[in-house]
Structure 1
Amino acid sequence: MSELVRSAQVIAAEIRSIDAQTREIVLRSAIEIGKRLNEAKALVPHGEWGAWLETNVNYSQSTANNFMRVAEEYKDSQTLGNLSYSQAVALLGVPAEEREQFAAEVDAENLSTRELQQAIKEKKQLEKELKKIQQAAEKDRKAREELAERVSQLQIELADAKIAGDAEQAQKLQEALAEAQVKVKQLEKELRAKPIDVPAVVEKIPEEVEKELAELRKKVAQPGNETAIKFKVQFEALGAGFRDLLATLAEIQGADPDMHEKYRGAVLGLIGKMSDTLR
């Protein structure tokens, strides 16, 4: 009977199987070693850990730290799969809550350790750039808010000055308002021109920024805005004056009831005329 000759494909499949088993054995062994190192460190006197490692297991502190971290970080993890020990150590550079998803996204078990380290490095660099963009966006948002508040305050002060007949102050406020409006336009221009260099980020102003800019432009550009603020100031002054008038009438009523009725009638007459005018 002739000897059965196995195909190269069968041999390759056996090699892959042995390799996977070896990976798992090595990683599981590393986890078990790490557990025992953590146990031992809790018993060794403070300051003697390095000497204990050298004497008893001949590990450097960095090697021991890797074993202990792997044991701690992967004790309840589903990330392991067919990872090698060196891949598992590399993935310690990814936060625990992100590790499993990241490993799946980059197909970690099919990358070399060097390729995996490079993928982690690129991830951290991207996160760093995104953080810078977020900080810049927050700074721009605060600048827009402060500018919008400044414009609104100037418009109110300008309305007050015109109501009071203070032409000189009104002129100063008008100039300050015009300057603030120029800054609004400049800020908008800068936002639109600002480049975004991070890969996978759409190079356009986010929708919420566009909306905010539109509101800001509407607030500072509408010709009727100043009149609306003027009305608000005058309406509030009218209400405050009426409340003061009622308080004074109450004081008069306590001192001179007859005079109170006279003044009360005068107020009612004025309110009637005002009401007729608005009809």
Structure 2
Amino acid sequence: MKEGKERSGVAMNPTVPERTSLIIAVEINSIKDQTEKLVLHNFIEIGRRLHEAKALLPHGEWLQWLEESVDFSPNRAAKLMRLYDAYGLPHSSLLDSDAQDQVLSKLSYTQALILLGVPEEERTQLLLDLDIENMSTRELKKAVDKQKQIQQEKERAEQENTALRQALDGVKEANTELAKERDSLKQEAVELRKTQQALQENVEKATLQNKKLKENMNYKSYQRVRNDLAAAQTKLFTSQVAFKYEALERAFKELSYELDLLANLDAQVHAGYMSKLNDFLLKAMRGRMQG
């Protein structure tokens, strides 16, 4: 009977699981995680009260109060108040109060500090998208760094788009000015043609008068009329040369402007046209010198 009771007693005792290093590590990490979550909650509450105290203190007494009353450095106090600003209020449009409490219950102090590295809206989105509770500190930091890189690339793209829009606006403005100048040149050309026509009529009249003078007047009168005719012809040709020179000068300016725009778009095509332009100018100069 006694042996039966002893055997029965042994059989009734539950088996105690063997303690291993893996089980101990899991327990330690669980305690660490719970501690950090408790630390985060407490630090948020301290940040709330630091805000309250700072609002109550007279100007200039904040730093002294930190040192003497709570033994906090300004940087330490600023970090705790940032934790409260980031996690202490349901001020995000993406999270209501209950959702924010649920997210914070899974967030550790170290993770909360890492997430302070991104703006509020992106931080809230990360809290929604990532399984932070099951992420290591290194994995979370990597995700935050990736988000920062994405934001930097986005800002850089926006800056490049802004620069391109500004450049395009500059080109449009320059084209508008060129169009105005072209219209002005057209008007000047019309006026110049009228002047040339009037000069041509004067030359024809002078030629007719010259013919009559040759028949009816003495040589001195004829010579004077011939000089007047020569002066009128000189004035006519001078006007024509001036008009064509101004037109050539403006055309060259327009060509130079268009070549500069082409250089920004296709350097190779620009170089080809520059070569053609140089050949043309050299041939023109040689022709004038030989002539």
Q: Give TM-score, length-normalised by structure 1.
A: 0.54
Cα shift readout 1:2-32 (whole Å, capped 9, x = no counterpart) = 4333477887776665444333322111112
- C-alpha distance in 1 between matches for 2:260 and 2:80: 58
Instruction: Give the total of aligned pairs.
Output: 189
C-alpha root-mean-square deviation of aligned residues, in Å?
3.4
Query: CA–CA distance in 1 between the matches of 2:172 and 2:82?
Result: 51
User: In structure 1, what is the equivalent of residue 4 of structure 2?
Assistant: none
Q: Give unmatched runs, 5+ long, in structure 1.
A: 191-279
Distance in structure 1 (CA, Å) of the matches to 2:183 and 2:68: 84
Equivalent residues in 2 for 1:1-279, closer than 5 Å:
1=10, 2-6=13-17, 18-77=31-90, 78=100, 79-105=103-129, 107-109=131-133, 110-112=135-137, 116-117=140-141, 119-120=143-144, 123-124=147-148, 126-162=150-186, 163-164=189-190, 165=193, 166-189=243-266
- CA shift for structure 1 position 130: 4.1
CA contact (8 A) 2:66 2:72 kept: yes
CA distance in 2, matches of 1:125, 1:143: 27
- Please list the CA deviations of residues 189-210 of structure 1 after superposition, one character each: whole Å capped at 9, or x if unmatched: 37xxxxxxxxxxxxxxxxxxxx
Largest Rg, 1 or 2: 2
CA 116–61 in structure 1, closer or farther in 2 if over 3 Å, else same:
farther
- In structure 1, give the amino acid aligned to 2:115: L
1:207 corresponds to: none
Identity %: 37
Q: CA distance change for structure 1 residues 141 and 45 in 2, over 3 Å: closer, same or farther?
A: closer
Instruction: Summarize deviations over 1:42-73 as a string: whole Å, max 9, x none.
Output: 33343333333333322222222222221232
Q: Which amino acid aligns with 1:93?
A: G
Q: Are the structure 2 counterparts of residues 43 and 176 from structure 1 closer, same or farther at C-alpha, using a change threshold of 3 Å?
A: same
Helix, strand or coil at the partner of 1:93: coil
Q: Which moved more, 1:123-132 or 1:62-71?
A: 123-132
Give the letter aligned to residue 168 of structure 1: Y
Helix, strand or coil at the partner of 2:266: helix
Please, what TM-score do these two structures have when normalized by structure 2?
0.52
Q: Which amino acid aligns with 2:121?
A: E
Compared with structure 1, are the counterparts of its residues 44 and 187 closer, same or farther at alpha carbon in structure 2 (3 Å cutoff)?
A: same
Show structure 2 runs of 5+ residues with no match.
1-9, 91-99, 194-242, 268-291
